[in-house]
Amino acid sequence: MPIESTPPSHAHQFEALQRKFVEGLRRRLEEIEAAPDTASQHAALHRLAGAAGAFGYEALGQLARTAMLASRDTPHQLASALAALYSAIQALIAQH
Amino acid sequence: MSDLCRVMCVEDDPDIRMILEFSLEQMGGYTLASCASGQEALDRVKDFSPQLVLLDVMMPKMSGTETLQHLRAMDCMRSVPVVFVTAKAMPDEVEALLACGANGVIVKPFDPVTLPHEIRKYWTQGPDHAD
């Protein structure tokens, strides 16, 4: 899923970076799940929301952003937002 | 008139540092100082002498806004453009960041293909650039 505008000369390099990012998603997932408090969980979701889109995974970034906002503003929606995020991460890991 | 060459980025997330290095070094051709914390940036800034700084906001220990305050207190960094790179994109959040003394705000997720061009417009506000 390369960013469409990536020049062909850099496409392989970008795909390698995408693979490294996806390999690190399991660690990010554990960090979100094991967060000791709301602030730590919010920070982990914030980092994922900021990173995913730059690697071409805009939908994943949006799910992380939704969960991040839920953790701060609408805690009753957090469980479903996290479930959607975890599902998307697992699917992405399975693809690679 | 000199050209924009030396860019410092300050970002605690290793994946984002990796994509910044790809974007700015590999694609943009800039010489990049990639720092994992505000303290590392403060330690390296005199030797590296950046012409532009990209600064994350939410970082442990020293936040981006605290780092900016320390940078602005250094004679060599008073007028060097500093641009926040952040997922905090609500208008009031952007306004607050600009009020801290930043020259601009780039919203995450950024596009690594267009970022090298995007940062150049902030550099034109800096002291190295004179028409």
Q: CA of A47: which chain B residue's CA is closest?
A: B13
- CATH fold of B6-123: Rossmann fold (3.40.50)
For this complex, say whether ipTM is above 0.90. no
Q: Are A54 and B110 an interchain contact pair (Cβ–Cβ within 8 Å)?
A: yes
Q: Are B22 and A43 an interchain contact pair (Cβ–Cβ within 8 Å)?
A: no
Is A42 in CB contact (< 8 Å) with chain B? no
- Separation of alpha carbons B38 and B22, rounded Å: 21
Residue bearing tokens 């705000």: B105
- On whether the CB atoms of residues B111 and A5 are closer than 8 A, the answer is yes
pLDDT of residue B127: 61
pLDDT of residue B2: 66
pLDDT of residue A6: 75
pLDDT of residue B11: 96
pLDDT of residue A2: 43
pLDDT of residue A9: 74
Q: Roughly how many angstroms between the first and final C-alpha of chain B, as a whole number?
A: 7
Secondary structure class of B84 (helix, strand, coil): strand
Query: In chain B, what residues touch A53 (CB-CB under 8 Å)?
Result: 108-110
- Separation of alpha carbons A93 and A87, rounded Å: 10
Question: What's the pLDDT tens digit per position in A62-85?
Answer: 999 999 999 888 888 889 999 999
For CA atoms B101, B107, B108, B113, the dihedral sign is negative
Q: Are B22 and A10 an interchain contact pair (Cβ–Cβ within 8 Å)?
A: yes
pLDDT of residue A4: 56
- Separation of alpha carbons B77 and B80, rounded Å: 5
Looking at this protein, which amino acid is placed at residue B99? A
Q: Please give chain B's pLDDT, 131 residues, in tens.
A: 468 899 999 999 999 999 999 999 999 999 999 999 999 999 999 999 999 999 999 898 999 999 999 999 999 999 899 999 998 778 888 889 999 989 999 999 899 999 999 999 998 876 666 54
pTM: 0.88
Query: In chain B, what residues touch A61 (CB-CB under 8 Å)?
Result: 109
Question: What's the pLDDT tens digit per position in A4-57?
Answer: 577 777 888 899 999 999 999 999 999 999 999 988 999 999 999 999 999 999
- Separation of alpha carbons B71 and B81, rounded Å: 11
What are the sequence ranges of the domains in chain B? 6-123
What are the sequence ranges of the domains in chain A? 18-95
pLDDT of residue B111: 92
Q: Are A49 and B27 an interchain contact pair (Cβ–Cβ within 8 Å)?
A: no
